[in-house]
Structure 1
Amino acid sequence: MELFPAIDLRDGQAVRLFQGDYDQMTVYSKSPVDVARQFKAKGAKNLHLVDLDGAKDGVLVNFESIREIVTDMDLFVEVGGGIRDEDRIRQYLDLGVGRVILGTIAVKEPEFLEEMVRKYKEKIAVGVDVKDGFVAVSGWKEVTDREGMEFCRYLRDIGVTTVIYTDISRDGGLKGTNLEVYKQLSQIKGLQVVASGGISFAEEITALKETVYGAILGKALYDGLLDLETAVELAK
């Protein structure tokens, strides 16, 4: 199983939000690049970057931090947050980003999503954020009538190869992830599922590696609940 330590970027800093709430933000480092170096030193091969300014305001405040991380380190980097047009996709891919993650626009503009998947294939992933079984968009403030599992099947059918699936209720809570939903998602053949939201314990890494392609580790790493070196070994 691939592990993706997460770095959320806001105003050039590494931060974490609680359940996507910008008013519940903790700053962990003023240097996201240093955080990335620490993750690499502990065995990380991948990184999951989220541009929170891009997601909120559509601005590229954190582009230099992302550029430095991508160009200075030999890591597979996936980036999400506010990617709403092809120009932004190209900017990131030209930089050397391995995969860009589309969120709200993937739900609201399916024609755009399908065109980007046709053009960029496996370099396009979709973030599927789910609340009470239904897909949520616009910073998790708007819950749609799209059922999460059905939406993932649709994504597989149009050629999306990787989905980052987050159970919003578990995000940032340090109380464990939704293992049952990932068992269900593993039945969608041909789709690489990355588990996200609430992964907090070593035994969850062991359980998830039987069902999913990857897992994102966030607050549990920053708060010391999970040790990255241990997680890397368990994921092998």
Structure 2
Amino acid sequence: MQTIPAIDLLNGQAVRLHKGSYEEVTVYDKSPVNQAKKFKEAGFDHIHVVDLNGAKEGRFVNLPHIKEIISELGISVQTGGGIRTFEDVEMLLEAGLSKVICSYMAIKNEKDWLKALDLYPQNMILGMDLKDGKIAYSGWLETAEESIESFLSRMIDNGLQEVLCTDISKDGTLSGPNFDLYQDLHHNFTDIRLIASGGVSSMEDLNKLNDANIEAVVIGKAYYEGRISLEEMAAFNK
């Protein structure tokens, strides 16, 4: 199981939200490059970065900080937040991002999303953020009407290879992942690579996800709050 350390960017700082609320923000590092450097020194060559400003405002805001991470550290970055059009995807890939995570675009601009999926299948990740059993988007402020099963099946038929799934009710809570959700998705959609996100609080959680054969997991608050060390996280990648 691949472990992927996370940096959430808000106003150029590394932060975490509690259950997706922009009113409950904790700043962990004022320098995202400094934070990313710690990840690289611990042996990580791929990280997860979210532009929280972009997710809310509908335009990619924190790209200069992400480009700085890539140019200074030479690590691979997957990113999401504020991606609305095919042109946004091209811009990010040209800027050096390895993978682009789309939530809003996949729901509200399906034509452009499917075009990106067709041209860059190995670079596209569906950001499937779940809120009350529905797919959420636009900074987790809105939800789609189509069912998870119907939407995922259609996307797989169109070449989807990778899904980042976050249970918003778990995100930033350190209450443990939604194991039933991830096991059901892994069992029902065997053609996709599943990245779990949200709620990881301990090594026990990581071991349980690993035992369930989940392909990858994003880890944020558990690291920032000292529940899991970088060394413990990195051990899964060897």
Q: TM-score, normalised by structure 2?
A: 0.93
Measured after TM superposition, the shift of residue 60 of structure 1 is 4.0
Q: 1:140 to 1:60 in 2, by over 3 A?
A: closer
Q: 1:59 to 1:116 in 2, by over 3 A?
A: closer
Distance 2:145 2:61 in 1: 33
Measured after TM superposition, the shift of residue 142 of structure 1 is 2.1
Which runs of 5 or more structure 2 residues have no equivalent in the other structure? none
Q: Which moved more, 1:176-185 or 1:136-145?
A: 136-145
Distance 1:143 1:54 in 2: 17
Measured after TM superposition, the shift of residue 99 of structure 1 is 0.4
**Partner in structure 2 of residue 33 of structure 1:** 33
1:214 equivalenced with 2:216 (yes/no): yes
Measured after TM superposition, the shift of residue 157 of structure 1 is 1.8
The amino acid across from 1:105 in the alignment is: M
**Partner in structure 1 of residue 136 of structure 2:** 136
The amino acid across from 1:221 in the alignment is: Y
Matches within 5 A, 1:1-236: 1-187=1-187, 188-209=189-210, 210-236=212-238
Superposed structure 1 runs of 4+ greater than 4 Å apart: none
Superposed CA deviations along residues 195-220 of structure 1, whole A, max 9, x for unmatched, are 01111110221221242221000111
Distance 2:134 2:127 in 1: 13
Q: Verify the 8 A CA contact 1:170 1:176 in the aligned structure 2.
A: yes
Measured after TM superposition, the shift of residue 118 of structure 1 is 0.8
Distance 1:98 1:234 in 2: 21
Measured after TM superposition, the shift of residue 122 of structure 1 is 1.3
Q: Verify the 8 A CA contact 2:125 2:161 in the aligned structure 1.
A: yes
SS at match of 2:218: strand
Distance 1:180 1:45 in 2: 29
Q: Verify the 8 A CA contact 2:59 2:83 in the aligned structure 1.
A: no
Measured after TM superposition, the shift of residue 173 of structure 1 is 0.5
SS at match of 1:229: helix
Q: 1:64 to 1:228 in 2, by over 3 A?
A: same
Measured after TM superposition, the shift of residue 177 of structure 1 is 0.4
Q: TM-score, normalised by structure 1?
A: 0.94
Measured after TM superposition, the shift of residue 138 of structure 1 is 2.2
Measured after TM superposition, the shift of residue 101 of structure 1 is 0.6
Q: Verify the 8 A CA contact 1:19 1:168 in the aligned structure 2.
A: yes
Measured after TM superposition, the shift of residue 88 of structure 1 is 1.9
Measured after TM superposition, the shift of residue 155 of structure 1 is 2.1
The amino acid across from 1:195 in the alignment is: A
Q: 1:121 to 1:181 in 2, by over 3 A?
A: same
Q: Verify the 8 A CA contact 2:60 2:81 in the aligned structure 1.
A: no
Measured after TM superposition, the shift of residue 23 of structure 1 is 0.9
Measured after TM superposition, the shift of residue 59 of structure 1 is 3.9
Compute the RMSD of aligned alpha carbons: 1.5
SS at match of 1:50: strand
Q: Verify the 8 A CA contact 2:58 2:138 in the aligned structure 1.
A: no
Q: Verify the 8 A CA contact 1:164 1:193 in the aligned structure 2.
A: yes
Which runs of 5 or more structure 1 residues have no equivalent in the other structure? none
